[in-house]
Structure formats: C-alpha cells, structure tokens
C-alpha cells in the first residue's frame, strides 16, 4: 500500500497518517498546502509535499515518482459558517479543485480512493440514528460541496474504474499522543471547551437550550480521531472486495453540549464557564450516526466511545502542546 494523503497535515489527516504507518504502509506521502494544517503534524517517515491539490502536474509527478496506488482525499475547507458567507471558496476548494485532483489521479493511474465526507450531507434528518439511507439534503454550502464531490466520484468511479469509499464523519474528537486539534479560528466544541479550561478563553458560547433534547442543548455524536483514522485503513483494505459506497462514522451515541461541558469539568478539574445565547441558523437538534454498515462490512468498531476518554486525550495533548505545533 503506497498512499497519497491530501490534507494529511490537518487534524484528522495527521492521525490517518499515523495509522497508515502503523498498519505497515510501504509509503505515505502527504500533499498539503498548509492553509490550515501544520508541517509539524506530519509523522515521520511520511513525506510532506507542500502544494495544492489542483496543481495537476505536481499531483501526477508525485503519484508517479512515489508509485502511489491509493489516495485518501481529506484536503478541504470545512468551516460551516464560512461556507455560508463565502460559498465560492467552498465550491472552488471542495469541488473545482477536488475534480482537478480526481483528473490527475486518473491520469496517474491511481484507481482507489477514500474520501473524507461529512454528516453535513444529511442536513437536518428526520431519523435518528442516521443511516446511509437517510435523505441527502444539506443545509449549508459545506455539506452541499461534499455531496457534490461524492456524486462526482460515483460517475468518475463508473467511467474510469476508481474504486472508492466515502467516509461520512460525524464529530471527530480527541487526540493521539503526537497529534491533536489546532485550528485558527477554532470552531469545534471540544477544543473550545478545553481552551476555556486552560484559561485561553473566557467562556464557551452555547447556541440555544430550547431544542427537543433532554436538557435543551444540541446533541452530537463524537468519534475518537484514532477510531476514525483506523476506519481509513479498513476502508482501503475493503476497496478490493466491496462495492464503492458511503459509510457513516460515528460512535453510535450522542452527548448534549451541557453534558459535554460537565464531562470536561470532571476530566480537567477546572471551571468551564459558558454563556447561553440564541440558536444558530441551520443547527439540527440531534445528529447521531448509525455506524452499522461499516461495522458489518469492514469490521470497524469504535474503541474509544467514552466521552471522558475522548476529552482526556484531547486535554493531554493540549497540556503537552501549550503553544500548539511548532511554527511551519
Ligand atoms: N473534523 C471533523 O470533525 C470533520 C467532520 C466531518 C468531515 N471532516 C472532513 O475531514 C477532512 C479533514 O478535516 P480536519 O478537521 O482535519 O480539517 P483540517 O482543516 O485540519 O485539515 C484539512 C487539511 O487540508 C489542507 N488543505 C485544504 N485545502 C487544500 C488544498 N487546496 N490543497 C492542499 N491542501 C489543502 C489544509 O492545509 C489542512 O491541512 C476535511 O475534508 C473535512 O471536511 C472533518
């Protein structure tokens, strides 16, 4: 297995690289423009090629020189709010550039691909837990662009023989010893909560407590980034025997925002003030995945389902990296 990982210097990508190396991949090559990733997040002996996924010559040359046989496409723009104020950026990076990458992979003869998709392709589903059969009806540009790429992949797959798996992540969370979450701006709840615990922010903004959930705050499904990363290795292995398809990736349970803050107080032993604000447009009350398909078809299982374990790992990484990754 000789793998190209686009976006491998990002949060989830850096852990996928770790897992691929641990699984014995012969070569792991990261293609990343470092727009939101960090060179220091790429574990050795993976090689970092700094560049854009739409640089066709670079992609073809890299794939040929490194004899790549499978790609994991994780590079993307992925801030929901920004996708609504600047949809052009999302169509450009997630669709236009994504298609340029696909063309280059076809030219270079890379016939297997795992794609980082998202729960946002479902929008605000009527069913819970959400199966892969649920309606695909994104409520934001980010989800729409991820769905557009999934759909393109289906047609490319048929015509050019690309075997593929789309992994629809719910909320990636936690850390490994080496790799953690560092975004600027940070929009994900767990790092924000832990930054408050660490005294780097004054409070956690909470967007509404009038949802139809037990305590009124939104419920989300948090999946440990190591579990998520292991699914990529299984998905690559499964490409040779399974039809191309999409798999949900969640832990199978949900926690409300308030439950998460309470758990973080317990794990960190610190006070974590929060401020209740109005609802945010487009937030669904409950987003919890059914991951039955990936469990049965790829024998994947979340091993770190407990929210306290997820929080403890993320907290340990934050304490060990008070200034984040070294400057690139
Ligand atoms: N983090 C989550 O909870 C979550 C949930 C669902 C889906 N996803 C998807 O998983 C993937 C990884 O998410 P993440 O949280 O690690 O994001 P991230 O921003 O940390 O990582 C994305 C990486 O892609 C790189 N990149 C972006 N555009 C590029 C381009 N044009 N050329 C080369 N490199 C480029 C960035 O520099 C960064 O290293 C994304 O595709 C995201 O949409 C993430």
* Cα–Cα distance measured from residue 190 to residue 285, given in angstroms and rounded to the nearest whole number: 18
Q: Specify which residues 244 forms β-bridges with.
A: none
Averaged pLDDT score across all residues of the chain: 96
d(C-alpha 176, C-alpha 45), whole Å: 17
Instruction: Report which protein residue has its CA nearest ligand 1's atom 26.
Output: 75
> pLDDT for 198-244, tens place per residue?
999 999 999 999 999 999 999 999 999 999 999 999 999 999 998 99
Looking at residue 143, its pLDDT comes to 96
Query: What are the residues facing 5 on neighbouring strands?
Result: 30, 72
Q: Mutual orientation of helices 97-108 and 56-65 as an angle, nearest 10°?
A: 40
Average pLDDT value for residue range 103-119:
97
Q: What lines the ligand 1 site, CB under 6 Å?
A: 6-7, 9-13, 31-37, 52-53, 74-76, 78, 93, 97, 116, 118, 169, 171-172, 183
Nearest CA to ligand 1 atom 11: 74
How many residues belong to the chain? 328
165-201: pLDDT as tens digits: 999 999 999 999 999 999 899 999 999 999 999 999 9
**Do 148 and 95 form a contact (C-beta atoms < 8 A)?**
yes
Q: Over the stretch 141-167, which tens digit does the pLDDT of each residue have?
A: 999 999 999 999 999 999 999 999 999
184 CA from centroid of ligand 1 (Å): 12
Residues with Cβ within 8 Å of 197's Cβ and at least 6 positions away in sequence, in order, are 264, 265, 268, 270, 271, 272, 315
Cα 76 to ligand 1 centroid, rounded to whole Å: 5
- Global pTM value: 0.97
Which pLDDT score is estimated for 328? Answer: 56
What is the C-alpha separation between 280 and 299, in angstroms, rounded?
Answer: 37
**What's the 10 CA to ligand 1 centre distance in angstroms?**
6
Query: Which amino acid residue places its CA nearest to atom 2 of ligand 1?
Result: 172
């Amino acid at each position: 297995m000789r793998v190209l990982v686009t976006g491998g210097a990002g949060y989830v990508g850096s852990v996928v690289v770790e897992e691929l190396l641990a699984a014995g991949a012969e070569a792991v090559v990261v293609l990343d423009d470092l727009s939101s990733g960090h060179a220091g997040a790429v574990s050795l002996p993976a090689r970092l090629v700094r560049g854009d996924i739409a640089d066709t010559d670079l992609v073809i040359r890299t794939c040929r020189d490194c004899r790549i046989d499978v790609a994991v496409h994780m590079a993307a723009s992925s801030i929901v709010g920004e996708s609504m104020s600047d949809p052009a950026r999302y169509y450009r990076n997630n669709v236009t550039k994504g298609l340029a990458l696909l063309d280059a992979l076809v030219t270079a003869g890379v016939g297997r691909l795992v794609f980082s998709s998202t729960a946002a392709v479902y929008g605000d589903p009527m069913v819970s837990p959400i199966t892969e059969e649920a309606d695909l009806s994104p409520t934001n540009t980010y989800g729409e662009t991820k769905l557009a790429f999934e759909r393109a992949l289906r047609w490319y797959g048929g015509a050019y023989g690309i075997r593929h798996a789309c992994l629809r992540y719910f909320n990636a969370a936690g850390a490994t010893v080496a790799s953690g979450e560092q975004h600027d701006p940070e929009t994900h709840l767990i790092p924000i909560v832990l930054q408050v615990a660490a005294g780097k922010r004054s409070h956690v903004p909470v967007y509404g407590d009038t949802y139809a959930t037990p305590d009124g705050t939104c419920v989300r499904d948090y999946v440990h980034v190591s579990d998520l990363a292991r699914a990529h290795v299984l998905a690559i292995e499964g490409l040779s025997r399974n039809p191309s398809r999409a798999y949900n990736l969640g832990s199978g349970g949900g926690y409300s925002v308030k439950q998460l803050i309470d758990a973080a107080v317990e794990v960190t032993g610190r006070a974590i003030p929060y401020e209740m604000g109005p609802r945010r447009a487009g937030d669904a009350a409950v987003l919890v995945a059914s991951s039955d398909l990936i469990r049965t078809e790829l024998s994947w299982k979340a091993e770190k389902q407990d929210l306290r374990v997820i929080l403890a790992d993320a907290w340990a990484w934050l304490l060990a990296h008070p200034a984040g990754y070294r400057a690139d």
